[in-house]
Every structure is written in structure tokens, then in C-alpha cells.
Structure 1
Amino acid sequence: MRRAATGRRAPLVLLLALALVLAPAAQRAAAQTEEEQTRARLEQLQGQIKQLNRDLSSAKTRREQVLAELREAELALGRLQGEMRDTRAAIAGAERELNELEGRRTALEAQRQAQQARIASELETAWKMGRQEQLKVLLNQEDPHTVARVMAYYRYFFDARNTLIERFRDTLAELEQVRAGIERQRAALAARQAELKAQGEQLEAGRARRAQAAASLAEDIAAKGGQLAQLEKDRKELEQLLETIQRAVIDMQLPDNYQSFAAARGSMPWPVAGKPGNRFGRARNAGGMRWQGVNIPAEPGSTVRAIHHGRVVYADWFRGSGLLLIVDHGDGYMSLYAHNQSLLREVGEWVQAGTPVGTVGDSGGLERPALYFEIRHQGKPVDPAGWCRG
């Protein structure tokens, strides 16, 4: 009986022993599998991070390329606007010349009518006095001296009449020349108008391409999380530019009746009509940046005016600000006008309060036309609402 029981326990013991031997191996296999899975996940995650970094780097490179293209496009648009203003001025001059030619034609027409009436009167007189008088003289056989004298009179009369007719013809020729001149002016005016229309279409096409590029760029950078870093970079570069300008600016020569910038505080005009779309110092985005100026929405092409006497120290395209103009007012004060459609002043030019310095636009990738306006003292931004009236 004991031997049989022992025989029945032997397989059970063997199974238990085998289980004890195999348990650590199974645990080791499970641990090894988990480690391999973790390593695979880590490698996958590292690959995703590397790909994201490559995508972000590629997006930034593309952004630089698009900004360079955007700079050239907006500078070209600014130049085109200047050409359009010149064309409008030329058209106005052509209109004035056309009015002068019309006046000349009216005067010549009056002269022609007067000459025509005079010739008709002379012809009527000549017909009445004509050949009957000559025949009477010849048939009466008057004194030869008298005949010669009368014939000389008739020759003088007809010569004078012929001279009058020639003058009339000259007047008609001059009138025809004036008419031809008017037609040429009209043709030139029509060509100018067509050119202006083509320039306007080109401007709109360029604006559409620029807006599309800016929108695509903003979406791409925002999706990859690089917008904040780029804004910080733009702000630092702008501050470096201001520091460079402040170091380079020489003392300004001011008129005797000049009111200092500080003394004009609270009485200066806003650079463009409109209500600011933000408040100075408020948060600009979720990244913690704050507004250092005000954004004033306005119609594209609206005139941007200087707020105070000063000198233009910067007028060019600047990354993040588009077409940017900066005026130095002395005593460490500066005013900045950004995202212009075109710039109307050049570096070194003096301006007064109200002098046109640019036109409202959306250069630099702005979503909607607006003027971004700042006032700085010793390089630090101050609230424009405390300096401009209204």
C-alpha cells in the first residue's frame, strides 16, 4: 500500500518540481518581452521626436524663404503704388492740357466764324462792284491814268481779299492741328487709364499671393509650436534695431518755436483714424507676450501721418513688421509705424505733425489691414493712449 501511494505521488512531485524550475524562466521571458516592447516604443518615440524636429527645422527654413519673397513682393507693391500715384498725377496734367486745348479750339472757332463772315461780306461787295464797274471804265474811255488808277484799286482789293482767304485757310489748318493734338491727348489719356487699371490688377494679384503665403506660413508655424519663439526673435531684433538707431542718431537741429515731445504729451494726433483693436500692456498670446503698442484697424491705403516733428531714421521692410517707418523726435523719443502698404518718406527726411509718412496695409503677414503703432522712450515702449488725444 505504501509503495502504491508512493507511486501515485511521484508524478505530482515531478510536476511540482518542473513548475518550480519553469516559473522563473517564464517570468524572465515576460520581463524580456516587456523590455523589448518598451525599447521599441522608446525608439518609435525618439523617431517621432526627430521627425518633428526635422519638420520644425524645415518649416523655419521655409519661413525664411517665404519672408524673403514676401519682403520683395511688398517692396515691389510699395514701388508700384508710387508709380500709380505718378500716373494719376500725369493724368491730371493731361486733363489740364486737354482743357487748355479745348479753350484754344473754342477761340480759333470764334476767329474762324468771324473771318468767314468778313469774307462773305467782302465777296458780296466785290460782286456788286465787280466787273460792271470795270466795263464802265473801259467803255467810257476815260483818261488812261484814271483807268490805271481804278485797275490798281481793283488789284489791291482782290489782293487783300486773297490775303484774307489765306489767313482763313491758315486758321483752319491751325484748328485742325489743335484738333489732332486733342485727339492725341485723349488717346494718351486712355492709354494711361488702361495702364493704371493693369497696375491695379497687378497690385491686387500680388496682394492675394502675399496674403495666401502669409496665411499658409502662420498656420504652419503655429501647428509646429514655433510662433512664440519667432515673435520673441522678431521683438529682440526690433529692439536691437532701435538700440542701433539710437546710437547712430546725431543731435537733431530743432526750430526755435519747437515744442518738445514730452511737452506735447496728451495733445498729439493719432497717426490714423480708427479705434485701437487692443490695449497697451495686455497679453498678446498664450505664451505670455504683451502688447508694446496698439493695432489700429483701417481701410487699406488710408494715409498714415506723423504725430510730431522729427526725422525719419528708418524706412524699409523689417521682419515681423513689414514696411516699417521710424521717426526720431529727440530726447530719446521715437514713434514706430508698422505693416504699411507703402512708405512715403525716406531716411533723413524731416516731418511735422500731420505729415503723410505711409499708407495702411497688411505687410509682414498681418491678417487684416491695420497700422501697428508704438511710442518708445529710451528704447522702452510707453502707452500711446497717454500721449495721443482722443
Structure 2
Amino acid sequence: MRDKIKDLSNILRASALCTGALLCLAFSLSVNAANQNQLDGVKQEITRQQDQLGNKQKKINTLQKSLKQQELAIAATANKIHQADNQLNQLDRSISKLQQEQQVLQQQQFGQQEMLKELLNTQYRQGKNSQLATLLSGEDSTELDRISVYAEHLSEARANTLNELAATTTELQLKKHQLSQQRQQQQALLTQLKTEKSKLETEQRQRKKTVRTIKGQLKTDSQYLSELKTNEKRLVKEIAKAKAAAEAARRAPMDGLVRHKGKLPWPVKGSILHQYGTVQQGELRWKGMVIGKPSGSQVKAVYSGKVVFADWLRGYGLMLVIDHGKGDMSFYGYNQTLLKKVGDVVQANDAIALVGDSGGQERSGLYFEIRRKGNPINPKSWLTR
């Protein structure tokens, strides 16, 4: 009997253990299922955010491409305006010179006309005392010869004056024709300038709209910092390529900047908006300086060298880089338009660009940087005090 009770007890204990195990297993499975669902939810959220970030980056990239096209269009228009301005200045000088020459010719013509009047009057008075009257008067032959020679000189002088007057009149007519043509050309240039400036204003309004949209996309500091870091990497990459190309194409050695520290002319004169080494964003610091200056002002080369880069670069806009030799380079960014191209040799104080706000800048100015063997240095210490 006891054995039966013991067996029954064992059966009941085993049954209880099995039930407990089953309950634990069921609970474990339930917890694992919940954890898996939570993990799947996290993964889906990560994927969603990554897709969102990817789409946002694509949108930013598209906007940057639009900004590039708009700023290149502005550069082309600004270049046309710059060239038209130069032609207009040359025409103004030419017209002024023609007007002066015209005044001289008019005075010369008046003098010749007065001379001719005097000669004709003298010849008329001489005609009243003809050689025949002189001969009949019984004067000697010597006096007669003198009067005859005088008459010949008088006649020759009149003929010469007539020729000079005709030549002056012809030249004066030519000057008047040239002046008329140049004034017509001047008017055509003024009309072209008005059209191009109107076009430029429209392009600048479109650009400002794109810049605002880009700023709206880069809302957080981390996004903006990431964009700046990526832009700097692009700059370093492009300059490495440009430097390699410059080394391969170099024919004559250049002396570099080392002997001219503290003596280089400023690329533009203006207030410094950002100093070298100051905080740009987060841990990122300015590798150059930004000098405030109105759009359209001329940017000058600080020293002689060869242009190794002249193109639009994201974050820096229209950038021009000059190789000065011995690992020294100067950088000019944010330009409205570039006046030099890759391969051009420039001298100190040559106009190389026009100040602008390209690259998405909110105000016009010049980004200026100097690098020695690839490393940025404080450019201010290399410029004249």
C-alpha cells in the first residue's frame, strides 16, 4: 500500500514539474517573441531613419547641384558685364580722344581758311597792280622780276593751303564718322549691360531661394558640421589633383613665398569677417580668412604663379588656386566669377576674379587661404601690415 502511495506521489510530483516546465517554456517563448518584436521594431525604425537621412542627403545633393548651376550662370553673366564694362571704358576713352582730335582739326581748319582768305586778298590786291602796268610805268626789270617771283610764291602758297584744307576737311569728316560709329556701339553696349544686369538680378533671386532651402535642410549643428567636413575633404582632394597636375606640367621653377612673408599685397581690402583659426562649427576651425567686400570688386593675386584650379567647388563656390612653387599655394573662394583659367600665368596684383557670395554664402566676401606643402597657415601674417 505504501508503495502505491509513493508511486502516486512520484507521478504527481513529476506531473507538477512538467507543468511548471511547460509554463516556464511558454513564458520564455512569450518573452523572446516580445523581444524579437521589439528588436524588429527598432530595426525598422533604424531603416526608416536611414532612408529618411538618405532621402534628405539626396535632396541636399540635388539642391547643391542646382546651386552650382545657378552660380555658374551668375558667373557667366557677371563675366559678360565685366567685359562690357571694360569695352565701355575703352570706348569712353576712345570717344574722348576723338573729340579732342576733332577740336584740333576744327581749329586747324579755321586757321587754314583764314590763311586762304588772306592769300586770296593779297593776290587780289596784287592783281590790281599788274605786271603790264608796272612795265608801262617804266620801272626797271629787277623790280619786275621781284614782283613776278612774289606772285609765283603767293600762288604756290594758295595751292598748298587749298590742299591742306581739303585734307583737313576729309580727316575731320572721317573723325566725325568714327565718332558716330563709336557712339552707336556705346549705346548698344549700354543696352546690353542693362539686359545682362536685369538677368543677373533674376539669377541672384533664384540663388537666394535655393540657399535658404539648403539652410533649412541643414537644421542641426551636426548636419551642418558634417557638410563642412565633407566640403573640406573635397577641397583637399581637388588640390592634391591640381598640385600633381601642376608638378607634371611645370617647366620653370617658381621661387615660392618664403622670402615675401609680411610683404604680400592683400587680395582685397576690407573688414575681416572670419579670422584664421577661429571656430567655424563645432571642433572645426577656419583654415583661412574671410574678407568682406561688395560683389563685383576685383580680386588680386598676392604673388606671381600659375593657376592650377579654377572651378566651382561645393562649399567654396567659384574657387581659384595659384601655385607659387616650392609647395606654396594661395586660394581664393566665394567668387562671383573667375577672370583666369587653369594654366594661366599671373603676376602679383593681377585681377584674377570678382568678389561674390558663391558656394551658398549669405553675404559677399573673399575666402582667402595659404597652404605650404599642403598645410594651411595663417594668411594674415604673410600680408602687408
TM-score (norm 2): 0.71
Residue 342 of structure 2: aligned partner: 347
Q: Which residue of 1 aligns with 2:19?
A: none
Q: State whether residues 376 and 382 of structure 1, in contact with CA within 8 Å, keep that contact through their aligned partners in structure 2.
A: yes
1:63-82 Cα shifts (integer Å, max 9, x gaps): 41342232133134224413
What code does the residue aligned with 2:257 have?
F
What is residue 124 of structure 2 aligned with on the other side? 123
1:262 aligns with 2:258: yes
| Counterpart residue number, 2:252 | 253
Query: What do the CA deviations read for 1:239-260 (whole angstroms, capped 9, x no partner)?
Result: 11101012222256347xx5x4
Contact kept, 8 Å, 2:299 with 2:355, in 1: the verdict is yes
Asked whether the equivalents of residues 297 and 370 of structure 1 are also in contact (C-alpha less than 8 Å), the reply is yes
Q: Percent identity?
A: 25
Unmatched segments (≥5 aa) in structure 2: 1-43, 139-143
For residue 316 of structure 1, give the secondary structure of its aligned residue in structure 2: strand
Deviation at 1:374, TM superposition (A): 0.6
Instruction: State the alpha-carbon separation in 2 of the partners of residues 78 and 373 from structure 1.
Output: 21
Q: Distance in 1 between matches of 2:86 and 2:185?
A: 12
Q: Is the 8 A contact 1:362 1:368 kept in 2?
A: yes
Distance in structure 2 (CA, Å) of the matches to 1:109 and 1:375: 63
- TM-superposed deviation, 1:300: 3.2
Q: Retained in 1: the 8 A contact 2:305–2:347? A: yes
Q: Distance in 2 between matches of 1:323 and 1:387?
A: 23
C-alpha distance in structure 1 between counterparts of 2:78 and 2:113, whole Å: 51
Amino acid paired to 1:319: R
Normalising by structure 1, we get a TM-score of 0.70
* Aligned residues of 1:267 and 1:389 also touching (Cα < 8 A): yes
Q: Distance in 1 between matches of 2:351 and 2:317?
A: 18
Residues 1:167 and 1:189: Cα distance change in structure 2 (over 3 Å): same
**C-alpha contact (below 8 Å) 2:243/2:308 kept by paired residues:** no
Name the SS for the 1:249 alignment partner. Answer: helix
Structure 1 partner of 2:32: none
Equivalent pairs counted in the alignment come to 329
Q: Does 1:356 align with 2:342?
A: no
CA RMSD for the aligned pairs? Answer: 3.9
Deviations 1:143-192 (A, max 9, x none): xxxxxxx9xx99x969975x776655545543432332232233233224
**Distance 1:278-1:267 versus aligned 2 partners, 3 A rule:** same
CA contact (8 A) 1:313 1:348 kept: yes
User: Is residue 265 of structure 2 the alignment partner of residue 272 of structure 1?
Assistant: no
1:281 shift after superposition: 2.3
1:21 maps to: none
Which one-letter code corresponds to 2:242 in the other structure?
I
Q: Which residue of 2 aligns with 1:189?
A: 182
Contact 1:211–1:367 (CA<8 Å) still a contact in 2? Answer: no
Partners in 2 of 1:300 and 1:273 — Cα distance? 13
Partner of 1:290: 285
The residue type paired with residue 321 of structure 1 is Y
Rounded to whole Å, the distance in 2 between the matches of 1:385 and 1:252 is: 30
Distance in 2 (CA, whole Å) between partners of 1:347 and 1:51 is 40
**Alpha-carbon deviation of 1:48?**
10
Partner secondary structure for residue 214 of structure 1: helix
When residues 205 and 234 of structure 1 are mapped into structure 2, their CA distance, relative to the original with a 3 A threshold, is farther
Following the alignment from structure 1 to structure 2, what is the Cα–Cα distance between the partners of residues 60 and 254? 40
Query: Cα–Cα, structure 1 residues 93 and 332, in superposed 2: closer, same or farther, change >3 Å?
Result: same
User: Which of 187, 201, 204 does residue 211 from structure 1 map onto?
Assistant: 204
Would you say 1:174 and 2:167 are equivalent positions? yes
Asked if 2 retains the 8 angstrom alpha-carbon contact of 1:305 and 1:354, the reply is yes
Which string of whole-angstrom CA distances, capped at 9 and with x for unpartnered residues, describes residues 82-107 of structure 1? 34313422432343344334323322
